[in-house]
Amino acid sequence: MSDRVASITESATLAVDARAKALIRAGRPVITFGSGEPDFPTPSHVVEAAAAACADPRYHRYSASGGLPELREALAAKTLRDSGYDVDASRIVVTNGAKQAVHQAFAALLNPGDEVLVPAPYWPTYPEAIRLAGAIPVPVFADESTGYRVTVEQLQRARTKNTAMLVFSSPANPTGAVYDRAAIRAIGDWVAEHELWVISDEIYEHMVYGDAEFHSLPVVTPAVRDRCVVVNGVAKSYAMPGWRVGWAIAPPDVSGAMTTLQSHATSNVCNIAQAAASAAVSGGLGAVSVMRAAFDRRRRTIVRMLNEIDGVDCPRPDGAFYVFASVKDLLGRRVRGRRVGTSAELAELLLDEAEVAVVPGEAFGTPGYLRLSYALHDDDLVEGVDRIRRLLADVEE
């Protein structure tokens, strides 16, 4: 196997999900908090647009690698509508999910030895995709005491002469952390001052609750625009994770390089999925506001219930659909005769003894925590957290 591929590890979140789904298939009543996808179906007008595209021979052919022209125009209009970022459609590259946009941005911009600052806890794909591009991920840790938000001071301490890029995401996975406008401005100014590149992953733009607001980094700090790649996709906002449509918005030379790379890697994204994405982003935001209301309700419930469990400390996140709870106080103790040394062992115990799937903090570069997605039915959520509570009532000193 190549050194490059041997150096990366499988996605722990997908692995947890696969194990939980296998147990469910085997008839076990597993409740899974592992999933990173909305539990809602794709809106019907989107499905209908895909069905119409299926029947239209125009969509049966290869199409432009960078994306269907009508989708790129729709994405430019959607971006202006949702974040106030005014971009020409020619800067947009349509990809197989935001994940491929992330990969291609790293591949297009990084050289061996380049360091990329990655606020931790991080989405597991960032460091692996950075390594695959031959560069070096440098985690910058922020814990619950700052709401899992990194500061400019922390970034500055981690910067070296090899630092080439920052990965920024707000709202963030796995913590649900949302940066306010002033914090984004401070980070953007710092990026511009040091002439770094920045990836702004905006996939959770519509998943913000209460008084929290989403702000797009290149809108708050226009000075980064010539060195910024915005990444986004339809997976979360339009309940379309399986359709595999994402995009990047980048300066012309970078979007050109990403398109060339894509032309040799995957050609075009499935035309049917692109037609569906076009209908999704051109339609209103009604479906996402229905989901947001449900997520907000579940967020409040799960935070309250988890904090009622001894040894669990769960800050209330402002965005995405995850909570990130500290379980550090439980480590080193015994539950039903089993010693729980790490959050990974606790996650295993929860699956074995309570039939509840969660993702351990290890997956996100921060042992001592558990991530729970609340994109599941309200009744399952309550039953699942109650199972955790019942199991952890058996903690021995």
Chain positions contacting ligand PMP, by CB under 6 A: 36, 97-99, 123, 169, 173, 201, 203, 233, 235, 241, 246
In the complex with ligand PMP, which residue's Cβ is closer, 244 or 392? 244
Least Å distance, CB 391 to ligand PMP, is 27
In the complex with ligand PMP, which residue's Cβ is closer, 324 or 392? 324
Block residue for tokens 């903690």:
395
Least Å distance, CB 186 to ligand PMP, is 21
In the complex with ligand PMP, which residue's Cβ is closer, 121 or 384? 121
In the complex with ligand PMP, which residue's Cβ is closer, 53 or 239? 239
Measured distance CA(305)–CA(300) in Å, rounded: 9
In the complex with ligand PMP, which residue's Cβ is closer, 94 or 109? 94
Least Å distance, CB 123 to ligand PMP, is 4
Least Å distance, CB 366 to ligand PMP, is 15
Block residue for tokens 């999933």:
35
Residue nearest to ligand PMP (CB): 97
Q: How far is CA 87 from CA 24, 168, 175, 218, 252, in A?
A: 45, 20, 29, 11, 11
Specify the amino acid at residue 271.
N
> What's the number of CA atoms in the CB half-sphere (13 Å) around residue 372?
33
Measured distance CA(101)–CA(45) in Å, rounded: 26
Under DSSP, is residue 276 helix (H, G, I), strand (E, B) or coil?
A: helix
Under DSSP, is residue 351 helix (H, G, I), strand (E, B) or coil?
A: helix
Residue 138, phi-psi category: left (phi > 0), alpha (psi -120 to 50), beta (remainder) = beta
Count Cβ atoms within 10 A of the Cβ of residue 11 and give its class: 0-12 exposed, 13-18 middle, 19 or more buried. middle
Block residue for tokens 């981690």:
158
40: tokens are 């809602």
- For strand 136-141 and strand 115-120, is the pairing parallel, antiparallel, or unpaired? parallel
In the complex with ligand PMP, which residue's Cβ is closer, 188 or 233? 233
In the complex with ligand PMP, which residue's Cβ is closer, 163 or 173? 173
The single-letter DSSP state of residue 313 is B
